[in-house]
Amino acid sequence: MLQERKMFLYTVIDSLQAVMDGLCRNFGIRPNRRTNRIELQNGDIKMSVTIMCTDMGEKAQNLIKEQAGELWQRFYQVETEHTDVKINLLHQIRQTKGILSIEYRFQDEGAEEKENTVYQAFFPILNRLQAVMWIPGEDGREAGVYSADEKGEKALLLSLEGQSQVGEFMPYPGRGAAPPENINQGQIKRRNKSQEILKERGIYVPAHYPFLESGLQLQARSPKEIAERAAALLTVALYSECLLSENQTPDQAMDFVKGIIENMGEGIFSPREWEYLHNPDSTEEERIGFSWQYENLHVMEWALGLTFDLGFPTHTCDVSKAVSLLKDCHSIRDILDLSHPKSKKELMDACDLIFCLDWACVDARINRLPMPGKLDGGVVMERHKSLNWLTGAQDGAEWDQVKTHT
Domain residue ranges in the chain: 2-159, 223-401
| Cα 241 to Cα 22: distance, rounded to the nearest angstrom | 61
| Cα 262 to Cα 265: distance, rounded to the nearest angstrom | 5
| Cα 134 to Cα 157: distance, rounded to the nearest angstrom | 10
Tell me the helices (H) and strands (E) count for the chain, helix number first. Answer: 16, 7
Give alpha helix (H) positions in 245-328. 250-264, 271-277, 284-291, 293-303, 319-324
pLDDT bin (cut points 50, 70, 90) of residue 212 is: confident
Torsion sign (Cα): 43, 44, 49, 50: positive
Instruction: Tell me what percent of the residues of the chain surpass a pLDDT of 70.
Output: 96
Strands (E), 76-204: 98-107, 131-135, 144-148, 154-159
State pTM to two decimals: 0.87
For residue 139, pLDDT beyond 90? no
Position 153 scores a pLDDT of 80
- pLDDT tens-digit profile of 355-402? 999 999 999 999 999 999 999 999 999 999 999 999 998 888 999 999
Contact between residue 204 and residue 360 where contact means Cβ atoms under 8 Å apart: yes
Instruction: Tell me what percent of the residues of the chain surpass a pLDDT of 90.
Output: 74
Q: Pick 68 or 27 by higher pLDDT.
A: 68
Calculate mean pLDDT across residues 139-159. 85
Q: Which of 57-71, 131-145, 248-262, 379-393 has the least mean pLDDT? A: 131-145
Contact between residue 325 and residue 230 where contact means Cβ atoms under 8 Å apart: no
For residue 145, pLDDT beyond 60? yes
pLDDT bin (cut points 50, 70, 90) of residue 8 is: very high
Q: Three-state DSSP class for 48?
A: strand
Position 165 scores a pLDDT of 93
Give the residue among 393, 382, 377 at the shortest CA–CA distance from 296. 382
Contact between residue 23 and residue 125 where contact means Cβ atoms under 8 Å apart: yes
For residue 48, pLDDT beyond 60? yes
- pLDDT tens-digit profile of 226-269? 999 999 999 999 999 999 988 899 999 999 999 999 999 999 99
| Cα 10 to Cα 99: distance, rounded to the nearest angstrom | 5
Position 217 scores a pLDDT of 64
